[in-house]
Amino acid sequence: MQNVPLQTGYDKSVVAFSPEGKIPQIEYAREAIKRGSTAIGIKTLDGIVILSTRQIPTKLIKAKSIEKIYQIDNHIIAATVGMTADGRALIEKARIEAQINRTIYDEPIGVETLTKKICDYIYLYTQSGGVRPFGTSLLIAGIENGKPRLFETDPSGAFFEYEAIGIGGLRQDIIDILEEKYNENLTIKSATKLGIEIFKSLNIKNIEIATLTLNNEYHKE
Amino acid sequence: MTTTVGLVCKDGIVLATDHRATMGHLISDTDTKKVYQIDDFIGMTIAGSVGDAQKLVKILSIESHLYKIQREESITIKGATNLLANILNNNRLNPYSIQFIIGGMDKNGIHLYSLDALGGYLERKDFTSTGSGSPMAYSILESEYHADITLEKAIDLAIQAISIAQKRDSASGNGFEVVIINKDGYRKV
């Protein structure tokens, strides 16, 4: 227990700020994400690629049951890192929001609109008593008006848009490599290759790969 | 109780209405507004109970505005139509007594829809008409409309259809209002 930071009383409730102006529970949620698996998302000319690590604790497990990449709607996919159960809850919320948009407007939801809806929901868990924030970060990728878009969410409810990004445990290592190797002329094929190379260079073997073309053709392996 | 028409032409939409409001046999108003702007490129006509219609016009305008500031793009014609259809169908046990025509331009092109009181909606590729004068208006539209009609010709045809209806439908009259929506936006003629 010697690694546990000194409990000052400010980190017990989500609602309270610490004297440093931070909300410790959100910092801890980010810590949970840093200790979890990793995912990469890359925007390309002909669609989107998401790669995720798959940690196999024992060879007895059915590898396919460890799922980190999900389809939200025909035109949107998402990867989760951090706490798996929290991720699943957010994925379910995203799927429902996508269908709500279809019933209200008879149209597919925008990727940014969906990201905002999810972040509105995440944010609720930073304001009320008796709850904890989501220990999960999502990579939301999809096709909007014929173009790919890629977003990352944070346990605070903030979100950011990227051309290419890594989230989770090896986030910084992946960002360093992507900053060097990413360019706007990548295709799904070359971006998949790049993603696999990045994971290989970080000694990760088990990978889940999902692609989504501009025509909403989804493929996962 | 009104004649309204909506026409699709190559480069835009024409919406036209008469100006009469009635209460039974009384002509209660002679300069009634029956075509409204919902968004920069979307217009809507109303036929039926004015109070119901004005409330729904207000809701749809506000929803379109909110959509635009939240999503940084305009609501589509189909989106606005579907939203209104849901509101109408939610009240199907105590329905609003109105018919609507919604038309305009969006990122998907030119679109024209007609809606009934229970929220049933149909997309029209040519023309549509609502209100008590619509049978008379349709007779002209059916014989004169053709697929590659120009905006100018469509305005003339819309005026003709409304004025014929005004001759034989006592609930329509007192002149007309014509609106066009094309790439330059919503404009009263």
Locus of tokens 């220990």? A135
- What are the sequence ranges of the domains in chain A? 30-55+68-220
Nearest to A109 by CA among A94, A91, A121: A94
* Residue of B72, B76, B86 lying closest to A107 (CB–CB): B76
The number of folded domains in chain B is 1
Question: Of the given ranges (A55-59, B13-17, B109-113), which has the lowest mean pLDDT?
Answer: A55-59
**Domain that includes residue B29, residue range:** 4-188
* Residue of B70, B72, B78 lying closest to A106 (CB–CB): B78
State the DSSP string of A98-125: HHHHHHHHSSPPPHHHHHHHHHHHHHHT
Q: What is the pLDDT of residues A189-206, one digit of tens each?
A: 999 999 999 999 998 888
**CATH for A30-55+68-220, options being 3.30.420.40, 3.60.20.10, 3.50.50.60, 3.30.70.360:** 3.60.20.10
* Residue of A105, A112, A116 lying closest to B83 (CB–CB): A105
Average pLDDT, chain B: 95
| Cβ contact, residue pair A110, B82, below 8 Å | no
B66 to chain A nearest CA, in Å?
A: 13
Q: Say whether residue B108 is in contact with chain A using an 8 A CB cutoff.
A: no
How many Cβ atoms sit within 10 Å of the Cβ of residue B185?
A: 13
pLDDT of amino acid A10: 67
Tell me what the mean pLDDT of segment B25-45 comes to.
95
Q: Is A47 helix (H, G, I), strand (E, B) or coil?
A: strand
- Count A/B contacts: CB-CB distance under 8 Å: 26
Chosen for mutation from A97, A99, A104, A105 (greatest number of chain B CBs closer than 10 Å) is A105
Helices (H) and strands (E) in chain B, counts: 4, 12
Q: Which one-letter amino acid corresponds to residue A208? A: E
pLDDT of amino acid A9: 67
B86 to chain A nearest CA, in Å?
A: 7
**Alpha-carbon distances of B152 from B13, B127, B143, B157, rounded to whole Å:** 11, 15, 17, 9
pLDDT of amino acid A8: 61
Tell me what the mean pLDDT of segment B23-33 comes to.
93
pLDDT of amino acid A128: 83
Q: Say whether residue B75 is in contact with chain A using an 8 A CB cutoff.
A: yes
A121 to chain B nearest CA, in Å?
A: 16
Q: Are A186 and A42 in contact (CB under 8 A)?
A: yes
The residues of B carrying an active-site annotation are 2
Looking up residue B57, the CATH number of its domain turns out to be 3.60.20.10
- CB contacts of B86 in chain A (<8 Å) are 103-104
Does position B177 have pLDDT exceeding 90, yes or no? yes
How many Cβ atoms sit within 10 Å of the Cβ of residue B142?
A: 11
| Cβ contact, residue pair A113, B71, below 8 Å | yes
B9 to chain A nearest CA, in Å?
A: 25
* Residue of A106, A113, A145 lying closest to B82 (CB–CB): A106
| Cβ contact, residue pair B70, A112, below 8 Å | no
pTM of the complete model: 0.83
Beta bridge partners of B102: B44, B113
Q: Please give the backbone phi and psi of residue A197, each rounded to the nearest 5 degrees, phi first.
A: -60, -45
CA pair distance B64, A100, nearest whole angstrom:
17
Chosen for mutation from B73, B75, B122 (greatest number of chain A CBs closer than 10 Å) is B73
B179's enclosing H/E stretch is strand B176-182
| Cβ contact, residue pair B78, A107, below 8 Å | yes
| Cβ contact, residue pair B78, A110, below 8 Å | no
For strands B4-9 and A147-153, give the pairing. Answer: unpaired
Q: What is the pLDDT of residues B87-98, one digit of tens each?
A: 999 999 999 999
